[in-house]
Amino acid sequence: MRVLVLDTIHGGTEIGRAFARVGHTVDAVDVYRGTTPDSADRAATATYDLVTAPVHLDPSHPLLAGRTEPVITHHEAVRRLLAGKIPHPMIEITGTRGKTTTAYALAHILAGAGLLHTSTGTYAMPGRRLLFKKSITPASVLDAAGEAIALKGWLVAEESLGVTGAGDLSIITSPVDYRCAAGKKSALAEKVTAAQKSPLLLCAPGVASGGHPNAVHLDDVATVNGDRCSITVAGRSGTFANPLLALPGYRVPLALAGTAALLLGQNPAPLSTFPGVPGRMEVRKEQGILVIDNANSGTNAETTIEAARYARDCSGSPEITLVIGTVKGDGAVCEGFPEDQILSAIRTTRPRTLIRVGNPPKCSEIPGLPAIDAVCQTLEEAERCARERTQTGAIVLAVKTWR
């Protein structure tokens, strides 16, 4: 079979190699940067048995529009390439928000050996031993599935813009939508469409199942009251308590993870000891001082204010040291942390000690804001500085950066 793979920089190279390994002839084209002119020229005139493109590619792209050959998504290509090489159970998680947290929480529950594949890294479980770091494009599931099989364990895989549908269960974590493919597609609709191939689909509140015959809606099976979650699904019931349930960013992901556990025949009770995701309201103690770590690629004013409130609740003290800003030159972060958002967060949280990361203006010159106690260039430097300056209360890390 002759296969055309479009987009080499979002997993297309790996997909092309996988097709070639099983005997197919492959042309792979870099449609975004134009680094494969020879392949692009061939693709413009050649005829293929199969074309695969990412869901985010503009459908009017010259190498995609008007093709008469079968065209499938990268997610579907990976599903076909995984045939007969699937770990069990395999759970795929997608959604604009909450997918990393849901993945970590579910991996915390599942018994035995397994593999956790997320945007923060790919880990052998239990013990969270880092194996490698790859993107969460569908192509990365190929290696993740292979590693899970080698471990003779389960696979929890975080994926962007959909799922392959090759696993036992798919989870859509958020109804938040945006336009992709040059504004011509709904990202949420693409995720729901991809999930139709899954044997079982679990949907967060507000997510329509698209008519999936085996869909479970979280609102129908789970209830959260304070720090306790109760779930009844598929003839099974379970409960767990965790203070993280008080946080909006954790409430739905933890309930989804608990529901998924019951659907897989496992007890969600271990979620009572789930400490959180590193950099996403993770709670830990450093030299006797409580640290709320919310430094991640999605940090903003809203999550900073939430982290400060949580820090005061957990420590029982109004005093916080706030570490806030953006790591200079971190181009991996798509959306920045605008200065007006940073100042709004500082004004609202009123920290006792303020440590800025990056190159901030002087807060002391802005009415209503405290003076900056220290300026650092990296998260690590800022955290050390915070520990040196904090004797009581809690430290809140609110730096926008990839971890």
The span from the CA of 154 to the CA of 144, in Å, is 10
Domains within the chain, CATH numbers bracketed: 2-73 (3.40.50), 82-273 (3.40.1190.10), 282-400 (3.90.190.20)
DSSP secondary structure letters along 297-361: TT--HHHHHHHHHHHHHHHS-S-EEEEEEE-TT-TT-SS---HHHHHHHHHHH--SEEEEESS--
Residue 362 has a pLDDT of 64
Q: Grade residue 163 by pLDDT with cuts at 50, 70 and 90.
A: very high
- The rounded percent of the chain whose pLDDT value lies above 70 is 96
Using one digit for the tens of pLDDT, what is the confidence trace for 232-271? 999 999 999 998 998 888 999 999 999 999 999 999 999 9
Q: What is the mean pLDDT of residues 12-39?
A: 95
Q: Grade residue 333 by pLDDT with cuts at 50, 70 and 90.
A: very low
Residue 363 has a pLDDT of 54
For helices 301-315 and 339-349, angle between their N-to-C axes, nearest 10 degrees: 20
The span from the CA of 85 to the CA of 167, in Å, is 11
Q: Residue 89's closest CA among 160, 144, 153, 138?
A: 153
pTM: 0.84
Q: What is the mean pLDDT of residues 295-320?
A: 91
Amino acid at 298: G
Using one digit for the tens of pLDDT, what is the confidence trace for 271-280? 999 988 888 8
Residue 359 has a pLDDT of 83
Spatial contact of 386 and 396, defined as CB atoms under 8 Å apart: no
Give the chain's mean pLDDT. 93
Beta-carbon contacts of 249 under 8 Å, excluding residues fewer than 6 positions away, are: 97, 98, 101, 280, 281, 303, 306
Of 119 and 90, more confident? 90
Using one digit for the tens of pLDDT, what is the confidence trace for 133-157? 999 999 999 999 999 999 999 999 9
Tell me: pLDDT of 220 over 70. Answer: yes
